[in-house]
Amino acid sequence: MCNALSMSINSATTSKMKRILGRLSYVSEVGRKRINTIRDHNSSVKTLRPTSSREEYAQSALAQRNIFSFMSKEQLQTPPAPLQIRRYASNLSQENCNSGRLLEYLHFHQETSVETREAVSSSFVVLRDFVTEEEEKTLLKEVEPHLKRLHYEHDHWDDAIHGFRETERSKWGKASSKILAKLQEFAFPNQDEKLALVHILDLAKTGVIKPHVDSIRFCGNTICGLCLLSDAVMRLVNVEDKTQIVDIMLWRRSLYLMKDASRYNYTHEVLGEKESYFGSVPVPRERRISIMCRNYPREEDVS
């Protein structure tokens, strides 16, 4: 009888323990679901998930933007912090910004057509923080001794630049060569087409680059440049319709790449101190050095 009573107690205890464990498991599952979900003011349930990895972001950005066929996902930058975006925010509506068709470095003036927006968006790219502060110092250390031997000029052969010094170089130190190789690999998938000479333009704080289209006799369809020492605003204006105006934010240490439609169909200029605005926000101008690379012109343009 004792054995039967003992077995009955053990069975009851085991059954009770199972019920307790079942309840604990249920409470744990409910609690986990409550932690992993939230309800907004419309009572729709959204699952909280970790932010996308850099790999996922790169793939998504590459699929959406598809600016150039040779842009690799490693060269796409992570999204700037919200405060950085607001720093030089264009006056475009939030609805347009969310459409996925506009890029943060482009500001289209009021009368800009859809055709102009698409033409510039697909032929002009700016990569923020393409070089680091240390890489910027490396390049400046190499070019400054050569620039100091020159005086700022106010007369350019085609009246395109005022308050500038410029030079060209084909040989660079080991550290600088590594930085420029990164630029050239991005801009020129076919390395044989790039010009050996690298153009260095030193623009004084009060200097300006007037509207112009670079001669097709001296370079091809692609021009790219590193912006050092200062932010600046570049303006594109359609050569046939002056109402088609696009402003482009060039951050310090960014890389810009202009090709095809932007290269041939629009004048480009760097706005002076008083005109340096991106949308309605002033962009302070300091001395600015740009290091530019180009590709060979087409044979029909040289002859």
C-alpha atoms less than 13 angstroms from C-alpha of 99 in its C-beta half-sphere? 9
Q: Is the pTM for the entire model greater than 0.75?
A: no
31 falls in which pLDDT band (50, 70, 90)?
Answer: very low
**Which helix H or strand E contains 174, and what residues bound it?**
helix 174-187
Confidence of residue 160 (pLDDT cuts 50, 70, 90): confident
Which one is predicted more confidently, 261 or 11? Answer: 261
| Selection from 236, 238, 245, 224 nearest residue 290 by Cα | 224
| pLDDT, averaged across the chain | 75
Among 181, 226, 185, CA closest to 71: 185
Percent of the chain's residues with pLDDT above 70? 64
The residues, any chain, with a CB within 8 Å of residue 139's CB and separated by 6 or more, are 131, 176, 179, 226, 228, 291
pLDDT of residue 156: 59
| Nearest residue to 108 via CA among 273, 236, 283 | 236
State how far the Cα of 15 lies from the Cα of 206, in Å rounded to an integer.
Answer: 86
Output the CA–CA distances (angstroms, integers) from residue 218 to 148, 174, 183, 214, in the order listed. 26, 27, 20, 8
User: What is the C-alpha separation between 213 and 32, in angstroms, rounded?
Assistant: 61
User: What is the mean predicted confidence (pLDDT) over 226-250?
Assistant: 97
Q: Residues 125, 62: contact at Cβ < 8 Å?
A: no
pLDDT in tens, 62-121: 343 333 333 333 433 333 333 233 334 443 333 333 334 458 999 999 999 999 999 999
**Residue 227 to residue 158: CA distance in whole angstroms:** 23
